[in-house]
């Protein structure tokens, strides 16, 4: 089938093998249902404009319905190894020829970007669903550990007493924030590019709002050049996913550290555990390494999408739409995989509460509280109180004193060196270095106090429910792909 009079011949073997066949396979697997949906939306418009009769529209719709992913193939002689030409060939080779005006006033450019955007939005909604499930699992796990003491670390050093619930509540907050950003991005992309033509619009009286509605969009993209040239939406989606992946990699690093034999704060079930081929005593957690590695893939694909658009002309180009654009699908696959793995970790992890409590007792994590009490109770100026508290901790460590075995005489001596007396030294030390008191000493909103964490989790759970309802609305508004013409369309 000849598709052009401008050139003669067919794509070369190297062009077909290195580029066209791979692109064709990708589009046949991931975009074909969206291409068919686009064709059916166009067919409804041809019917409305009187360019085809009811019988012709029904015949063509039936032919489109027979198109399946295993039917088209990249063929340099029949379709120039192009999915759009393959679709044309499939329809035209049927028992009922298409009407003469079929594909009049049409371009591949807006059809391609429309199919790409539809597929991307489908993936984006699926990722949002995965995030909602992960957020729920994180919130549940956090709620079980709001009063389980563990050391919190800054700069790699034990710093203050926190809880796994407090740490996980931060992940719950980051997850909700990601869902909010994604919701904004999704709504920004709710503009259908179909009807933009090659770049300058079209000549027939297309009802672009109707086209958009048929394909599950809220509105038509108002500017034709933006419709076919812009891939800002790919960058926006990719950036949302990369931002969360970067955050998740940091939480995963914490889990990797705390699950190591140097800490032993948490464990994973055997079903998520690997072994050493040479050291039979080891239980490895490669699932955490896989999660963090796939976070890198998600971040890297976002960089690819930006770099692939930089310095290109603002028009439809294969470099942007195909060579670069396919990275978004790859990124979405990596994101969904790492979210499934993370969900399995969150629902399978167990915390060794005794080891965490022991670690709290071994370090003087109440130094901040002690300095506060020296100022508020003993009227020692703040900076001097910091010096006294630090001096006490230094000498306690040198003498091998644990935090849960304080020395009141040592504290009084440290204060005296700065010219101050400390009354109730034993009580101050007990209040400052008691693990459970230390956990509850922080009482501001958003702090690690179990009550504050519980309140925070309740708010995040409520927000998660709200976001779930919002995403349910977006899913309901999205029209299923490949919807045949109805009796109402043909009436």
Residue 428: pLDDT over 90: yes
What is the model's pLDDT at position 80? 83
What is the model's pLDDT at position 98? 84
Residue 282: pLDDT over 80: no
What is the model's pLDDT at position 190? 96
Q: CA Rg, the chain, in Å?
A: 31
Residues 445-456, mean pLDDT to the nearest whole number:
96
Residue 4: pLDDT over 80: no
What is the model's pLDDT at position 110? 96
Q: Which two tokens stand for residue 200?
A: 């300058």
Phi and psi based region of residue 59 (left: phi greater than 0; alpha: psi -120 to 50; beta: remaining): alpha
Neighbours of 343 (CB within 10 A): 18
Q: Which two tokens stand for residue 60?
A: 């063509």
Residue 70: pLDDT over 70: no
Residues 291-311, mean pLDDT to the nearest whole number:
96
pLDDT higher at 330 or 278: 330
What is the model's pLDDT at position 69? 58
Residue 160: pLDDT over 90: yes
* Dist. CA 155–CA 174, nearest whole Å: 21
pLDDT higher at 268 or 482: 268
Closest CA to 329 of 80, 75, 23: 23
Residues 55-69, mean pLDDT to the nearest whole number:
85
Average the pLDDT over each of 131-140, 235-244, 364-373 and give the range with the smallest value: 364-373
* Dist. CA 396–CA 416, nearest whole Å: 16
What is the model's pLDDT at position 2? 64
Q: What is the pLDDT of residues 26-59, one digit of tens each?
A: 898 899 999 999 999 999 999 999 999 999 999 8
pLDDT confidence tier of residue 281, bands split at 50, 70 and 90:
confident
* Dist. CA 173–CA 154, nearest whole Å: 20
Neighbours of 436 (CB within 10 A): 13
Residue 197: pLDDT over 60: yes
pLDDT confidence tier of residue 7, bands split at 50, 70 and 90:
low
What is the model's pLDDT at position 275? 78
* Dist. CA 386–CA 374, nearest whole Å: 9
What is the model's pLDDT at position 488? 77
CA dihedral 246, 251, 255, 258 (to 10 degrees): 120
Residues 390-402, mean pLDDT to the nearest whole number:
93
pLDDT confidence tier of residue 402, bands split at 50, 70 and 90:
confident
What is the model's pLDDT at position 483? 74
What is the model's pLDDT at position 5? 60
Residues 63-73, mean pLDDT to the nearest whole number:
77
What is the model's pLDDT at position 72? 77
Average the pLDDT over each of 21-25, 255-259, 449-453, 461-465 and give the range with the smallest value: 21-25
Residues 201-215, mean pLDDT to the nearest whole number:
96
End-to-end CA distance of the chain: 34
Pairing of strands 150-154, 266-267: unpaired
What is the model's pLDDT at position 1? 55
Spatial neighbors of 209 by CB under 8 A, at least 6 apart, are 219, 220
Residue 6: pLDDT over 80: no
Residue 482: pLDDT over 70: no
Residue 279: pLDDT over 90: no
* Dist. CA 173–CA 179, nearest whole Å: 10
pLDDT higher at 310 or 82: 310
* Dist. CA 261–CA 74, nearest whole Å: 54
Please provide the average confidence, as pLDDT, over all residues in the chain: 92
């Amino acid at each position: 089938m000849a598709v052009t009079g401008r050139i003669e011949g067919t794509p070369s073997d190297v062009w077909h093998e290195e580029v066209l066949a791979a692109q064709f396979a990708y589009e046949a697997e991931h975009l074909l249902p969206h291409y068919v949906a686009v064709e059916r939306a166009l067919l409804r418009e041809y019917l409305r404009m009187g360019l085809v009769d009811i019988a012709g529209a029904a015949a063509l719709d039936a032919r489109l319905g027979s198109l399946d992913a295993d039917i088209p193939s990249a063929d340099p002689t029949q379709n120039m190894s192009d999915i759009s030409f393959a679709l044309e060939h499939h329809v035209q080779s049927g028992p009922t020829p298409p009407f003469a005006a079929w594909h009049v006033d049409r371009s591949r450019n807006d059809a391609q970007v429309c199919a790409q955007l539809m597929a991307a939005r489908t993936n984006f909604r699926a990722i949002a669903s995965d995030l909602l499930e992960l957020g729920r699992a994180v919130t549940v796990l956090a709620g079980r550990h709001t009063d389980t003491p563990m050391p919190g670390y800054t700069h790699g050093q034990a710093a203050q007493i926190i809880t796994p619930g407090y740490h996980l509540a931060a992940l719950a907050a980051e997850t909700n924030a990601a869902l909010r950003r994604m919701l904004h991005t999704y709504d920004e992309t709710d503009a259908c590019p179909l009807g933009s033509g090659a770049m300058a619009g079209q000549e027939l009286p297309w009802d672009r709002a109707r086209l958009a509605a048929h394909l599950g969009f809220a509105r038509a993209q108002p500017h034709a050049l933006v419709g076919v040239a812009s891939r800002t939406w790919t960058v926006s989606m990719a950036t949302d996913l990369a931002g969360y992946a970067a955050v998740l990699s940091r939480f995963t690093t914490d889990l990797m550290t705390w699950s190591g034999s140097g800490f032993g704060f948490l464990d994973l079930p055997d079903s998520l555990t690997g072994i050493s081929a040479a050291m039979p005593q080891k239980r490895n957690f490669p699932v955490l390494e896989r999660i963090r590695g796939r976070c890198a893939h998600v971040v890297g694909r976002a960089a690819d999408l930006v770099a692939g658009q930089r310095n290109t002309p603002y028009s439809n180009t294969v470099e942007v739409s195909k060579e670069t654009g396919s990275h978004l699908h790859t990124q979405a696959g990596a994101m969904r995989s790492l979210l499934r793995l993370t969900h399995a970790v969150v629902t399978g992890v167990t915390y060794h509460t005794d080891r965490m409590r022991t670690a709290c007792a071994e370090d003087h994590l109440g130094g901040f509280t002690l300095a506060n009490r020296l100022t508020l109770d003993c009227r020692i100026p703040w900076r001097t109180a910091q010096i006294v508290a630090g001096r006490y901790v230094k000498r306690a460590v040198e003498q091998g004193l644990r935090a849960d075995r304080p020395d009141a005489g040592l504290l009084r001596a440290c204060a005296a060196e700065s010219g101050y007396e400390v009354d109730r030294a034993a009580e101050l030390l007990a209040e400052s270095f008691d693990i459970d008191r230390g956990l509850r000493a922080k009482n501001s909103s958003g702090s690690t106090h179990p009550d504050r964490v519980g309140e925070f989790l309740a708010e995040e759970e409520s927000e998660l429910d709200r976001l779930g309802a919002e995403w349910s609305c977006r899913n309901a508004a999205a029209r299923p792909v490949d919807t045949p013409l109805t009796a109402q369309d043909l009436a």
